[in-house]
Amino acid sequence: MTTRRDFLKACAAAGAFAPGLCLGRLAFAADGPAPPLLVLVFQRGGCDGLNLVGPANEKAYVEARPPELRVLDGGERPGLALANGLADGIDFRLHPEAAPLFELYQGGRLAVLHACGLQNATRSHFEAQDLIERGVVSVADYARTDTGWLTRYLATLGEGAAAGRIAALSANAGVSAALARFDDALAAPDLAGGLPLAGGREAAAVLGRLYPPGATDPVRRAGAGVLARSALVEARLPRLPDGRPAPYAPAGAAYDNNGFTQGLQAIARLARMDVGLRVACIDHASWDTHDAQPGRFNALVGTLARGLAAFHQDMAAAGRPVRVVVMTEFGRRLRANRSQGTDHGHGSAMLVLGDGVRGGRMFGAWPGLDTPRLDQGVDLAATTDHRPVLAELLTLSGREQALVFPGLPAPAPLGLLA
């Protein structure tokens, strides 16, 4: 028989629920139509933004890197020239493997931001990721903040644990730290097989008695939430006549077969189920390219671009408004190292895709790559804080912004939304 301890171990191993306290419903929760589904794609490891979106003809860029670590403006594999760049005379180009994203840029659905990042110049993966996912910029603020920024955003929408709803999905093995202490988060990197409970109906009946709906103590309430979310997905998942989950084959969306696209399909499936999905997180790793960067980077960019293009087509065909944000914890050094790679840097690029986005243009302030303009003389400086970008995409009011990103001054709008 499945015991209470076995169930809790299984939940923890699967990342099926986020421990902690729900922020509850706020009095100023927004009225009116629901905002577009927000999908946060996190490039774990520190994406080399200068190799993703390169100033192809900038002298310092050309001198600092071999051709295989640059986006080129000529030759057999030139980069894809971006209109509406950031600086006169500089030819910004997208990596050639990002052709599916370039089509969205040309179609006005994708915007590119450059020189983005934390303002404290940390080069620690763990510290940078922790700060970004908490929505703060200092270690002192991190110590005082126990919720993720997406958790606080959901609170502005009045979202909390609720029957018949799944407001947040982490399409990873565990719940994203940006959703820390949100009780209603579901972690599921793949829904191809549904979310059946081990042991079948008999085990479900036993667990239902151990963790009944309406339980008040934290452990039973969390267990009941896991059961309810699993049952909701199982009930809404399209099935074949024999009861097995139907293959996911949305019209016009050609997904590759890899872990990243499985996660994107999990997000798309849940969005189509009408369960109240508001936010979703998915990781794309690993961008920590200290060595052998050219081949690894090419493959990563191609996987990212094809996956996002397929997801965009999927959601458009389903009539589901969505905004996708692609970001990383920091960029890489301007100068290449001796191992055909790049080391931890500072500023990087962000991509914003979807409904209402003023695509087909670049945003931000380009600091230049001459040595005096570099951060600590070695890195692309970060001139755009990622938090105002997120706040603008979420159309937060002043009061909501103070909750979601505490301490963030009122930013000048970038004009990302039409």
H helix runs in 364-405, sequence order: 386-393, 398-404
User: For 232, phi and psi rounded to 5 degrees?
Assistant: -65, -45
417 in any annotated domain: no
pLDDT at 270 over 90: yes
Beta-carbon contacts of 157 under 8 Å, excluding residues fewer than 6 positions away, are: 29, 30, 34, 35, 167, 278
- pLDDT, tens digit (0-9, with 9 covering 90-100), for 109-165: 999 999 999 988 799 999 999 999 999 999 999 999 999 999 999 999 998 767 789
- 18 versus 390: which is more confidently predicted? 390
- pLDDT, tens digit (0-9, with 9 covering 90-100), for 282-338: 999 999 999 999 999 999 999 999 999 999 999 999 999 999 999 999 999 999 999
Q: DSSP assignment, residue 357?
A: B
* Mean pLDDT over each residue of the chain, to the nearest integer: 91
Bridge partner residues of 93 (DSSP): 54, 81
pLDDT at 71 over 80: yes
Q: For the CA atoms of 65, 56, 388, 172, what is the dihedral angle to 10 degrees? A: -60
pLDDT at 32 over 70: no
- The per-residue pLDDT for 161 is 65
Q: Could you tell me if 181 and 154 are in contact, meaning their C-beta atoms sit under 8 angstroms apart?
A: no
Domain span including residue 16: 4-404
379 in any annotated domain: yes
Q: Could you tell me if 270 and 191 are in contact, meaning their C-beta atoms sit under 8 angstroms apart?
A: yes
H-run or E-run covering 7: helix 4-14
pLDDT at 204 over 90: no
413 in any annotated domain: no
76 in any annotated domain: yes
Q: pTM value?
A: 0.92
% of residues, the chain, pLDDT over 70 = 92
With residues binned 3-state (H G I as helix, E B as strand, rest as coil), the percentages for the chain, rounded to 5, are 35, 15, 50
- The per-residue pLDDT for 126 is 96
Q: How many folded domains does the chain comprise?
A: 1
- The per-residue pLDDT for 283 is 98
Q: Could you tell me if 282 and 331 are in contact, meaning their C-beta atoms sit under 8 angstroms apart?
A: no
Q: Which CATH number fits the domain that encloses residue 228?
A: 3.40.720
Bridge partner residues of 332 (DSSP): 344
- pLDDT, tens digit (0-9, with 9 covering 90-100), for 342-358: 999 999 999 999 999 99
185 in any annotated domain: yes
416 in any annotated domain: no
414 in any annotated domain: no
231 in any annotated domain: yes
Beta-carbon contacts of 244 under 8 Å, excluding residues fewer than 6 positions away, are: none
As a whole number, mean pLDDT of residues 195-210 equals 86
Instruction: Give the Å distances, CA to CA, from 121 to 54, 129, 215.
Output: 21, 12, 46
Beta-carbon contacts of 236 under 8 Å, excluding residues fewer than 6 positions away, are: 273, 274, 275
Burial category of 391 from C-beta neighbours within 10 Å (exposed 0-12, middle 13-18, buried 19 and up):
buried
Identify the three-state secondary structure at position 217: coil
